[in-house]
Structure 1
Amino acid sequence: MALYHQTVDFLSESWANQRTQLPLLAVTGASFTLGLLLRSLFKGDTHKEAILASPRTRVLPHISEEEKRKLPLPDDALPGGRDVATPYGSIRVYEWGREDGPKVLLVHGITTPCIALGGVAHALVDRGCRVMLFDLFGRGYSDCPSDMPQDERLFATQIMLALTTSPISWTGSSSGKFSLVGYSLGGGIAAAFASFFPQLLSSLVLLAPAGLVRDSQISFQGRVLYSGGLMPERLLAFLVSRRLKSGRMVAPKKDKQGKLNAEDALTEELPSDEAAEDQVLSREYPRVTVPSAVAWQVHNHAGFVHSFMSSMRYGPILGSRQKVHWTRLGDYLSAQNSTGGEKTEKGLPSHKVHILCGNTDTIIIKDELVSDATAVLGGNVVFKFYDAGHEFPSTKYEEVAAYIEKILQ
């Protein structure tokens, strides 16, 4: 009964706030109750296709070269593109820069394709680096495996698949290691990867990282929307798809209790319209912006809604699930520091994790991040803050690249 009353209160409040357009969260609350009654109508909620195709096969073969160049997200928006065939579907990878320069792998967030980190990548190449980016499964031009959870295991596998298809060595004994940079969800992915493979890395840089978000930050609505088993999967996918395709990409906000609602994750990485006009993420196509790329991706990628939902449900976001990985990484660094380990052999020679964050980030709360990251990493962490929100890697890319350059020296 308590859960019923919470749902009713939630619906009433949402209706009062949106009289002319019922938002996704209100529909979600109603669907929670309705779903219990209609579950039998949605039996067999499994994807018929194990691989949900990206626009690489759904869109590009059916348009001209001129039309491809006019897309909000051209497949050659970044240099050095290649499509990697894997058992999980095709992965779109971009790699360019000096072959003998410091290597930097960048992992993007939950909503945007890797173009969001294009500004950082270009700025690093300007500084003599070799960079690699790839679209996470279900984003950009990477396919989406629909028959497995998008968790740290799948993402670690994707990182390895991208690395091993490079024309130069990123992981061999003579490779010189590489710096791993993760943004938002990518930060949680990078931290988990580093906890298992620290010997591969020269440094770890996390930009507004997920992975330590407190459960108390997630609203009741968010729990209903992304908790498995509470609603039929098809109905849930329909509701999320409707919200994503509504075009209402607004700035993140919190509910009256100061908790994150379900809409935050949809828009967390999107800069303001003014900031989007100033950014240059693709030098080949300066007009490309994060908001336009995300909007196009939502409508043209068959696997995006699934990947978004699965990442929210299983991905390295909440500290209650990911603390073990961060603690393992902290223990490794503490042991390395206490023994004065040889930098060239033990990995992560900086002995610290570098975390960059925005002062006004409403998703990754500065004070909570500092407290929680310091605790789980055993103090083996350095912080840098910017006068910006969660989107700062796509708007302050020169400053971010300059910070990473110092670490690489």
Structure 2
Amino acid sequence: MALYSQTVDFLSDSLANPRSRLPLLAATGASFTLGLLIRSLFSPTEHREAVLLSPRASLLPSLSDAENRKLPLPKDALPGARDVLSPYGSVRVYEWGPEDGPKVLLVHGITTPCIALGGLAHALVDRGCRVMLFDLFGRGYSDCPADLPQDERLFSTQILLALSSSPLAWTGAESGKFCLVGYSLGGGIATAFASFFPQLLSSLVLLAPSGLVRDSQISFKSHLLYSRGLMPERLLSLMVARRLRAGPLVSPKPKSEKLNAADALTEELPSQSAAAVQILSREYPNINVPAAVAWQVNNHAGFVHAFMSSMRHGPILAQRQRNTWTRLGNYLTVKNSATTDGQPAHKVHILCGINDAIIIRDELVPDATAALGGNAVFKFYEAGHEFPSTKYEEVATYISEIL
């Protein structure tokens, strides 16, 4: 009580003294401002909206056709665009190619929108395939459900939403089944989906897939960064957004180093020289992945949230996904045991870059072989993690040969 009385007396005297009033008010104002900042950073992040809208709703309505064409990701970057309404927000889907061709569904990675697989999709259509791509929640022109974790349940539901929106039958006895291709995070998503719905697929192709990344490969910094509660959410969001805006890596990360957040953010991005020769959109041949990702950071209200949630809950680490891979392996073992002589065995096709700094060949081959019960075949390219967006003709040739 004595200290309280002394403090009140001091404040009263100071406010009564014109000479001391200004410094006191300045100090009080600075302290108050600092207190508000600290409170805002350390208070829990809560999204008032259940769905964070994509640029489809927040930006495109105000743009002319000429302005749209100048965007790093125009709304008609790929053929057959449609927006599918759902309880989780709108989903952007692209579908084109011969209606009677083999069906291929492509699922992209954690950082890029589906335009990263545009070159591969075009190359598959050139080979007679019917292709479908969609932007994962919080990427490209798909909204982001902010009140749900981005895990295998949400992503599997999104795949079913995209399939059901097609004018063609992609599931069911008369559909002829489809080939599922997943890249990076999309590889983990595709594996999870295949483990629950294997009867829908004609084949499964994984491009540098997540899902079996060893926990020992993740740096302590990244564990700390993405463990909820150890760092203020708003501060973390600002850090992630800043890193995403930094663009692609100048040089690949040495394999001897453990993965950190920056690697996960940038390894899907090709080098500037590789990006310059990509043709991901034939309507807009100047489109490249780094520019599209930078545009997402600045214009998609849900992108940073989606990235962080995928890092925390998505099918990335082996400690969370090993049972998923084993479940699929057990299914294939039973399927192959019933295969008659002369019929090809059912295998998961895993394609990777030799110089991949995230999906390490010497770890992936034994881990995937064990988890899938030997039901896997591998192919490697002289490239890094970004190879599906730079070697799409070679990858398309491989996929078309197994269809």
Q: Tell me the equivalent position of 1:164.
A: 164
Q: 1:41 to 1:373 in 2, by over 3 A?
A: closer
- Structure 2, unpaired ranges of 5+: 1-37
Matching of residue 405 in structure 1 with residue 397 in structure 2: no
Asked if the contact 2:180/2:201 (under 8 Å) is kept, the reply is yes
Q: Tell me the equivalent position of 2:386.
A: 391
Aligned mates of 2:196, 2:340 — CA distance in 1:
18
SS state of the match for residue 181, structure 2?
Answer: strand
Q: 1:390 to 1:324 in 2, by over 3 A?
A: same
Q: CA deviation at 1:343?
A: 12
Aligned mates of 1:261, 1:41 — CA distance in 2:
23
**Pairing partner for 1:381 from 353, 376, 380:** 376
Give the aligned CA root-mean-square deviation in angstroms: 1.9
Matching of residue 174 in structure 1 with residue 174 in structure 2: yes
Q: Tell me the equivalent position of 2:68.
A: 68
AA of the residue aligned to 2:388: P
Q: CA deviation at 1:58?
A: 1.1
Report the number of matched residues. Answer: 367
AA of the residue aligned to 1:216: S
Asked if the contact 1:182/1:207 (under 8 Å) is kept, the reply is yes
Q: CA deviation at 1:342?
A: 11
AA of the residue aligned to 2:81: G
SS state of the match for residue 261, structure 2?
Answer: coil
Give percent identity, aligned residues only: 74
Q: CA deviation at 1:246?
A: 4.0
Aligned mates of 2:341, 2:97 — CA distance in 1:
29
SS state of the match for residue 357, structure 1?
Answer: strand
Matching of residue 359 in structure 1 with residue 344 in structure 2: no
Q: Tell me the equivalent position of 2:26.
A: none
**Pairing partner for 2:367 from 372, 381, 384:** 372
Residue pairs, 1:235-274, within 5 angstroms: 235-247=235-247, 249-253=249-253, 258-274=257-273
Q: Tell me the equivalent position of 1:281.
A: 280
AA of the residue aligned to 2:302: G
Aligned mates of 1:343, 1:315 — CA distance in 2:
39
Q: CA deviation at 1:396?
A: 0.3
Q: Tell me the equivalent position of 2:106.
A: 106
Q: 1:48 to 1:355 in 2, by over 3 A?
A: same
Q: Deviations over 1:251-282 (max 9, x none)?
A: 45259x72111100110111111111111100
SS state of the match for residue 73, structure 1?
Answer: coil
- Structure 1, unpaired ranges of 5+: 1-37
Aligned mates of 2:82, 2:342 — CA distance in 1:
33
Aligned mates of 1:105, 1:251 — CA distance in 2:
32
Q: CA deviation at 1:63?
A: 1.3
Q: Tell me the equivalent position of 2:310.
A: 311
Q: Tell me the equivalent position of 1:203.
A: 203
Q: CA deviation at 1:339?
A: 2.1
Aligned mates of 2:191, 2:53 — CA distance in 1:
28
Q: 1:88 to 1:207 in 2, by over 3 A?
A: same
Q: CA deviation at 1:247?
A: 4.6
Residue pairs, 1:148-163, within 5 angstroms: 148-163=148-163
